[in-house]
């Protein structure tokens, strides 16, 4: 039954990819879907890229085990800041400014906004190098789940996922991603409701009314507003996972491709509702982990195996396949977006800096080849032993720390200077890289601080450095 369901799921993805391939002729088609994506598809594309196996397997398990019910603060942050405010503050400006500047990537936006080709080159390298750990963490999360549910060896599951991502992305590009995201978003919603139902009604929990008393019986701190690790650790995770999307190229990319400004209002509310449903399902389930597992030795002292263990013990085998598809859908969509954005950093940004006259067909071919290479790099890193949470936090902190300041102020603040943008990019990324090495057990805190520093540094340095030419600012902000 499980293999049949996965087979049907894979077949649907391949059919979508095949028909999308016929619509993908130019680089604009492959990377942006010709800027023609409607509200619901845009919303689901954003949401399914936001939440992956990293959430369901790595974050929900480790964070829920440590913090208990207070992990729901992360749900609130993801819905209010990572989804609602992101769309409300950034979507319209991003769509308008990227059209004005004729930019299709984050590095391309930075180059034209700040008139700096070197800034584009450094930004492209940061994306290609530092999104690899995030991609690897998604592969790891899904492979742990495959191993638990199917009994498929971890390495085989990794290879299967890599091949699937490479095929459907390289065939259909962004058209394939958005259509499959819509399909996968529906699968995720159904899967989350089923997961919550089976977990809450399980005798170990005994219904919603018993959640807090049961957790308090294990440890009163697990039922308190702030879990055992403390407020600093908790709210660093809220900042990392909620503010991070404001500076992540694979998330901002969704704003580039929307059809027009009219779709933004619907997409804002749809994305927020999606985030609330999916994040609640994952983090609430993780917060109950102590009710199913008394000691980490039961999962081989590996926190990444907590969620698969809970699912195996609560969901009937006949329904487990739907939960499997939930995690599979969340992961496939995230992986595709990561690969697309990363390959574009080389094919669009670096290649066109070196060879500006590269034709469209060659650029699309190179993007397809680079997509496969990026998947291979991620696969290699996923084979090495790591904790999913640390891999993901390092990637988010470095990339979002590099871009959140230059992008946010470049979009909203006319007085942002080239020096200000450089300072934000180098401070955010440099802080995360250096301090993650010295404090490997505090990577989420380091990543959240990197983002805050990037936001603080850009306007301060801009206030004391040479402003951009007024005619350029007039053009960028479309004031003519």
Shortest CA distance to 446 belongs to which of 403, 400, 394, 408?
394
Using DSSP's 3-state secondary structure scheme, residue 104 falls into: coil
Tell me the helices (H) and strands (E) count for the chain, helix number first.
24, 0
β partners of residue 37: 258
pTM for this prediction: 0.83
Cβ contact 77:242 at 8 Å: yes
pLDDT tens-place values along the chain, 480 residues long: 666 777 777 777 777 666 666 555 555 555 555 555 667 878 888 888 888 766 777 778 889 999 999 999 999 999 999 999 999 999 999 988 988 988 878 888 999 999 998 998 899 889 888 887 777 777 776 676 667 666 777 677 777 777 777 776 666 565 666 667 777 788 788 888 988 999 999 988 888 889 999 999 999 999 999 999 889 999 999 998 999 999 998 888 888 878 778 889 999 999 999 999 999 999 999 999 999 998 888 887 877 788 878 888 887 876 777 777 766 666 666 776 777 777 777 766 776 666 666 666 676 677 777 777 777 777 777 666 555 556 667 888 899 999 999 999 999 999 999 999 999 999 999 999 999 888 877 888 999 999 999 999 999 999 999 999 999 999 988 765
Q: Taking each helix axis from N to C terminus, what angle separates 2-21 and 317-344, rounded to the nearest 10 degrees?
A: 30
Domain boundaries, the chain: 2-388
Cα 216 from Cα 234, distance rounded (Å): 19
Name the DSSP class of 468: P
Taking CA 77 as the corner, what is the angle to CA 73 and CA 82, rounded to the nearest 5 degrees? 160
Report the CATH superfamily, name and number, of domain 2-388. Answer: Sodium/glucose cotransporter (1.20.1730.10)
Report yes or no: 343 and 173 within 8 Å, Cβ to Cβ. no
- The crossing angle, in degrees rounded to 10, of helices 2-21 and 132-150 is 140
């Amino acid at each position: 039954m499980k293999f049949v369901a996965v087979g049907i799921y894979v077949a649907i993805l391949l059919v979508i990819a095949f028909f999308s391939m016929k619509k993908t002729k130019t680089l604009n088609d492959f990377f942006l879907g010709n800027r023609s994506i409607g509200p619901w598809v845009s919303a689901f594309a954003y949401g399914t890229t936001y939440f992956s196996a990293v959430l369901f397997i790595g974050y929900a398990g480790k964070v829920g085990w440590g913090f208990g019910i207070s992990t729901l603060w992360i749900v609130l942050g993801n819905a209010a800041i990572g989804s609602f405010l992101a769309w409300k503050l950034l979507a319209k400006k991003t769509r308008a400014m990227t059209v004005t500047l004729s930019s299709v990537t984050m590095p391309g936006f930075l180059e034209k906004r700040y008139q700096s080709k070197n800034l584009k080159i450094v930004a492209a390298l940061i994306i290609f190098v530092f999104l690899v750990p995030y991609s690897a963490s998604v592969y790891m999360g899904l492979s742990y789940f495959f191993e638990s549910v199917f009994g498929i060896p971890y390495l085989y599951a990794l290879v299967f996922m890599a091949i699937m991502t490479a095929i459907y992305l390289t065939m259909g590009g962004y058209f394939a991603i958005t259509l499959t995201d819509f399909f996968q978003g529906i699968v995720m919603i159904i899967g989350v409701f089923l997961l919550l139902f089976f977990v809450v009604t399980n005798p170990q929990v005994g219904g919603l009314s018993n959640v807090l008393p049961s957790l308090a019986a294990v440890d009163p701190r697990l039922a308190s507003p702030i879990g055992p690790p403390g407020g600093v650790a908790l709210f660093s995770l809220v900042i990392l996972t909620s503010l991070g999307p404001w500076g992540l190229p694979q998330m901002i990319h969704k704003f580039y491709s929307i059809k027009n400004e009219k779709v933004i209002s619907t997409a804002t509310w749809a994305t927020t509702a999606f985030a609330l449903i999916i994040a609640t399902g994952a983090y609430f389930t993780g917060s109950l982990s102590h009710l199913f597992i008394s000691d980490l030795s039961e999962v081989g002292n590996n926190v990444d195996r907590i969620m698969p263990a809970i699912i195996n013990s609560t969901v009937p085998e006949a329904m487990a396949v739907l939960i499997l598809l939930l995690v599979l859908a969340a992961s496939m969509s995230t992986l595709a977006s990561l690969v697309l954005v990363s390959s574009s950093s080389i094919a669009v940004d670096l290649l066109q800096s070196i060879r500006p006259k590269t034709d469209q067909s060659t650029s699309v071919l190179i993007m397809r080849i680079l997509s496969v290479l990026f998947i291979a790099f991620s696969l290699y890193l996923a084979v090495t032993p790591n904790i999913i949470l640390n891999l993901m936090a390092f990637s988010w902190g470095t990339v979002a720390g590099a871009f959140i300041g230059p992008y946010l102020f470049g979009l909203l603040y006319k007085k942002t200077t080239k020096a200000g943008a450089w300072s934000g990019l180098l401070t955010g990324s440099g802080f995360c890289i250096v301090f993650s090495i010295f404090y490997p057990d505090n990577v989420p805190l380091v990543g959240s601080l990197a983002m805050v520093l990037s936001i603080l540094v850009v306007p301060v340095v801009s206030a004391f450095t040479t402003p951009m030419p007024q005619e350029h600012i007039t053009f960028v902000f479309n004031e003519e």
